[in-house]
Amino acid sequence: MIFEALIFWVAALVPGPRPSVIVHISTGDVVRIAQRIARDEGYDLDKDIRDPRTGEKVAYWFDSLDDSPQGPLLEGYTSIGFYIDTHIRSGISINNSTGQTLDMTSCELFDYPDLRPFQEQMIRLSGTKRKTPEELADEVGCDSLRIEAKPIHP
């Protein structure tokens, strides 16, 4: 009886693996991450550009893709659209545990160096580990993910 009680207390005191936690990502952080991705893809968000056909100013903007009564676009992710005028360029989804970002429509994984500090912070807060590209592809329904890791600077 004493031995069983001792085993129980030792088991209770030994730290085990912590379950991963879903971390809330603020709207400001979501927009900043999407802007970094757009810049890394070569878009100069501060430059006044014009449509060569019409001469009208082209607008870049970002909007949540999770504002649906059905819930988020992708469970476990926070999603935002990067638009050029009225056309969506990327549907960016940020994993709420790892901070890894991807576009599930084009099956691209955004692994730019300037995204790493945010990912490390998310992993530290959630107590999880970075997912492999194969794990992420499986979660979002892609056969594989094309990894975008080298920024294009305008």
Per-residue pLDDT, 72: 78
pLDDT of amino acid 30: 95
Phi, psi of 80 (to 5 degrees): -140, 145
pLDDT at residue number 46: 85
Among 49, 24, 55, 11, smallest CA distance to 126 is for: 24
Q: What is the pLDDT of residue 66?
A: 86
Q: Which domains does the chain have, with CATH numbers?
A: 19-147 (3.10.450.170)
What is the DSSP code string of 15-79?
--PPPP------HHHHHHHHHHHHHHBT--TTS--B-TTT-PBP-EEEEES--STT--SSTTEEE
Question: Rounded to an integer, what is the distance from CA 1 to the centroid of its chain?
Answer: 51
**pLDDT for position 154:** 57
Q: Which residues contact 144 (CB under 8 A, 6 or more apart)?
A: 107, 133, 134, 137
HSE-up of 2 (CA within 13 Å, CB side)? Answer: 0
**Whats the size of the chain, residue-wise?**
154
Provide the whole-model pTM: 0.81
pLDDT in tens, the chain (154 residues): 443 433 444 444 445 445 557 788 999 999 999 999 999 999 888 887 777 777 788 789 899 998 777 777 888 999 999 998 888 999 999 999 999 999 999 999 999 999 999 999 999 999 999 999 999 999 999 999 999 999 997 5
Among candidates 141, 142, 152, which has minimal Cα distance to 44?
A: 152
Please give the DSSP secondary-structure letter assigned to residue 152.
B
SS3 percent helix, strand, coil of the chain, rounded to 5, is 30, 25, 45
pLDDT at 73: 80
